[in-house]
Amino acid sequence: MDRDERVERVARHTEEVLTREELAGLFERTERPRAYWGVEPSGRLTVGHLVCARKLIDLQEAGCEVTVFLADWHAWINDKLGGSLERITRAGEYMRSAFQALGVSEGATRWRWAHELTGSSEYWSRVVRVAKTTSLARTKRAMTILGRSEEEEGLDTAKLFYPSMQAADIFELPADLAYAGLDQRRAHVLAREVAHHYDWPVPVAVHTPLVSSLKGGGRMDAANAPERKMSKSDPTGAITLPSTPEEIAARMKSAFCPAKEVDGNPVVELALHVVFPWRGRLTVHRAPQHGGDRTFDGSAEFRTAWTAGELHPADLKAAVAAELAEIVRPLSEYFAHHPTEAPAEF
């Protein structure tokens, strides 16, 4: 790939790139930019994580050295899996197996744990430097990444460390490019602001869209994303992995899917943000009397047909369910042969 092709591969199917010009400059400066994605090991993946897996593959195809940062200390601070580091570690090991099964290259990926950084005094010095440039009000705003809505009185002090730690992670790994879903935007903007303050290298930030809970609930943006996105903590609104085709179909059948609507429609979001990036097309099977089968070779064509009312929600649900089953089939097959790597409980 030439530079423009590499930029396009990283930028496609994203919500935003901060900034595209900086991304082009990064590929001008280095053949192997260091990209990072941080994730809390907190239980099973959902089909929403397929957005992340596809973007990690894009980054690798563009020639980036990808680090998947298994943020065990961050999950501990955030009370995930009962705050048990042992359970969090098991969840992280499952995540690594799952992403490799989905096609995230082992050879092109560095898998790092947060505890590998937290044992260093240099890391905590970096955390303090980040915190010294960040007001308490700014830190609290960035804490929306925790996915919490409790009143301040109910939060333990450790959670105040989280935004500064997340920004420090980027510089300590180090990473030239920080990738995440839109819910991590505030943390990445904080890191960019801190970099300007200290004259550290400013990381490019790449954000992909989030997939809503299957229960729906209105338009999602960075402010309400933690409460609105698909999460395994709400089994009625998620499709966890691995799942059988029958399980996926059953969940999709009951999903919120108002006709013609795009914003806040989880079925349409799965088509736009998962099916098209992974499969490149979507085929909707219909009876001849209802128009027969229809194949969409691009998301724009599909969006136009959907908003015009040319597709019935039930037909779309069945089509998306079938495509999801194909996308996750390698993962399901892997865990069928390695059942101990996907325990029922972590």
Tens of pLDDT, residue by residue over 4-42, are 999 999 999 999 999 999 999 999 999 999 999 999 999
Q: How far is CA 142 from CA 164, 228, 243, in A?
A: 9, 17, 33
Tens of pLDDT, residue by residue over 196-207, are 999 999 999 999
Angle 308-313-319 from CA coordinates, rounded to 5°: 105
Contact 81, 94 (CB under 8 A): no
Contact 63, 31 (CB under 8 A): yes
Q: What is the pLDDT of residue 154?
A: 72
- Count CA within 13 A, CB hemisphere, residue 305: 22
Q: What is the pLDDT of residue 217?
A: 66
Confidence of residue 193 (pLDDT cuts 50, 70, 90): very high
- CA dist 252 and 214 (Å) reads 8
Q: What is the pLDDT of residue 155?
A: 81
- Locate the domains of the chain by residue range: 3-208, 225-341
Superfamily of domain covering 225-341: Tyrosyl-Transfer RNA Synthetase (1.10.240.10)
- Fold matches, 3-208 and 225-341: no
- CA dist 116 and 97 (Å) reads 20
Rounded to the nearest integer, the mean pLDDT of the chain is: 92
What architecture (CATH level 2) is domain 3-208? 3-Layer(aba) Sandwich (3.40)
Residue 6: closest CA among 18, 25, 19, 15 = 25
Contact 101, 327 (CB under 8 A): no
Radius of gyration of the chain (CA): 20
Q: What is the pLDDT of residue 340?
A: 86
pTM of the model: 0.93
Please give the residue that has the higher pLDDT: either 148 or 64: 64
- Res. 261: pLDDT tops 60: yes
**Structure token pair of residue 30:** 């280095």
Tens of pLDDT, residue by residue over 328-338, are 999 999 999 99
| One-letter amino acid of 167 | A
